[in-house]
Structure 1
């Protein structure tokens, strides 16, 4: 039998990943099929395939990851790490999107994060953020 080391039993820190559902790639595939008759109508229109490819890359790459260190926002062309200490709070939009507000009042959109995810962010933050919904208080 293999002997267990203390690292094997160590609890892992909670981590939450918010991303566009993978089923959105079905819509990208459908768009590529719909572009096919037009793309081969005239020479040079094959460049239309760049549209579904770009949307597919956006679906695969865009995400928000929250862990014990902070929030990592990954977009199509970049990545930004927001430590919990740098966050001042969140702003909510009319469409239930969440925007992080930093200490210098800079706003950073959190892709795929909605107001219903705020209790999860509160849990992952380890108490650095209050749960505005009160759902976590009911469980304790």
Structure 2
């Protein structure tokens, strides 16, 4: 059974490391400011923890401090936000955010969910008129092939 894990890209951890390095002169300049290291550590924790795992049976959304598991039978729709994370609308009309899943991931989400989520690229392809095949000339010769010397 295929399973897909949507995560925040790990290069985001470079931002946490850079922030910790940049905070060092200030943090050690005054006693007690070492607490500044908590901010990059919290950001790194957020990057590592937030993810959504999807398979044919369920969706598992893991947030910073918790996890929620929902079977596909409880999902009524997927709410698409153009510049944000998607959300699953459940049968009781509650909304569950899907961390790290964006609108560009809909085709993959459709494939893993076995069609429970509509693939917008397939719908767009079905709406386009089919191109008429070019007329084939039985006497036509194929174009010459260029050789690389």
Q: Same fold (TM over 0.5)?
A: yes
Change (3 A) 1:129 1:92: closer
Identify the residue that residue 117 of structure 2 maps to in structure 1.
Answer: 129
The structure carrying a bigger strand percent of its residues is: 1
4+ runs deviating over 4 angstroms = none
Task: Name 1:58's counterpart in structure 2.
Answer: 46
Equivalent of residue 22 in structure 2, options 19, 27, 34:
34
- The structure with the largest alpha-carbon Rg is 2
Matched, 1:107 2:95: yes
Structure 2 unmatched ranges of 5 or more: 127-149
Q: State the distance in 2 between where 1:94 and 1:68 align.
A: 25
Instruction: Name the TM-score, length of structure 2 as normaliser.
Output: 0.79
- Helix, strand or coil: the match of 1:101? strand
Distance 2:34 2:105 in 1: 40
Residues of 2 paired with 1:106 and 1:86: CA distance?
Answer: 10
Count how many residue pairs are aligned between Structure 1 and Structure 2: 126
SS of the residue 2:35 aligns to: helix
CA offsets per residue over residues 55-87 of structure 1, 9 Å max, x none?
111111110010122110001100000110000
Per the alignment, in what secondary structure is the counterpart of residue 121 of structure 1?
helix
Aligned to 2:36: 48
CA RMSD of aligned residues (A): 1.8
Q: TM-score, normalised by structure 1?
A: 0.83
Work out which structure has the larger RCO, using CA pairs closer than 8 Å and 6 or more positions apart in sequence: 1
Cα separation, 2, equivalents of 1:102 and 1:132: 20
Q: Unaligned stretches of 5+ in structure 1?
A: 1-12
Equivalents in 1 of 2:80, 2:56: separation in Å? 22
Asked whether the 8 Å contact 2:81–2:103 carries over to 1, the reply is no
